[in-house]
Each structure stands twice: as C-alpha cells, then as structure tokens.
Amino acid sequence: MRKRLWLFAVIVVLLAGGGYFLYQRTRPVLSDQQQIKNVILTAAHAVEQHKTKTVMDQVADDYSDGTYDRQSLETVVRGALAYAGESHISTFIRSLEVQGDRATAQVSVEMTTARPQVDAGGLPTSNQGSYEVQVEFRKTDRGWKVTSTKGLEAAGGGL
C-alpha cells in the first residue's frame, strides 16, 4: 500500500512538472507593443480604481518629465486620486514606436472625474478633459516602465 502511494505521488509530481513545462513552452509571448499597451491600460484602470501603488508600479525609478521626478509624481498622483472621486478614463493609442529597449507612444486620453461634493445648485461637481500625451518607455528587468510623459500637466500629474 505504501509503495502504491509513493508511486502515485511520483506520477502526480511528474505530470504536474510536465504540465508546467508544456505551459511554459506553449503560452503566448506578448510582443513589446502589447506589453506597452498593457502598461497604459493598467495605469488607466488603476487611476479609475484610485490605486496609487498600481499606477506607480508602471513608472520607472528614474522617471523625469522636466517637472516631476518619480517621488514628486507619486505625491501628485496620490493627491489627485484622493481628490478626484469617481473617475472614468478612455485611452486611444495613436502611435507606438519601439526602438530596442526604448519606446514612444502618442496616446489620446479622455478623462472624467466626479467628486462626491456638490456645487451651489446641489449637483455633483465634475471635471472633464481631453489630452494628447506623449509617453516614453524603457524596457527594464521588470518589464516596460514609463520614463517620461508630456501633455497631462493640466490633468494634475505626469502620468
């Protein structure tokens, strides 16, 4: 009985290992373009969900856009998300160019935020804006990361 249990355990381990190996060999490998698109979509979704950490996970440690470095950007993002209330973001990637471990995307962003406060007329306050954003990326050992943005300054942050 003990021998059968041991044999069963070995077979299970071999099947699991073989299954994992097969999964690793056959899983789809995302192109650089798709990985970058995922970074953009992840950041947009994180803004909607008010998840500062997830937004900042998409940003390189050496982020700099001429106004903000990574640390000051995080402060701005945290404050903006705390203030924004309910948010909705639509993104459209107009162009995406990858050159080795660097990439540039031109992204159209439609953003609507509604704060829980009400105006003098008793209606919820909201903001709406359209932005044309240039996003610079660098491929790191942790995937593609945003290194710089231009065009979202009016929205209250670089990303």
92 has a pLDDT exceeding 60: yes
pTM of the model: 0.73
E strands in 57-142: 86-99, 102-118, 124-140
pLDDT score at 83 = 76
Angle at 119 between CA 115 and CA 121, to 5 degrees: 140
Over residues 17-42, the pLDDT tens digits come to 666 555 556 667 899 999 999 999 99
Over residues 106-131, the pLDDT tens digits come to 999 998 877 666 556 665 566 778 88
8 has a pLDDT exceeding 80: no
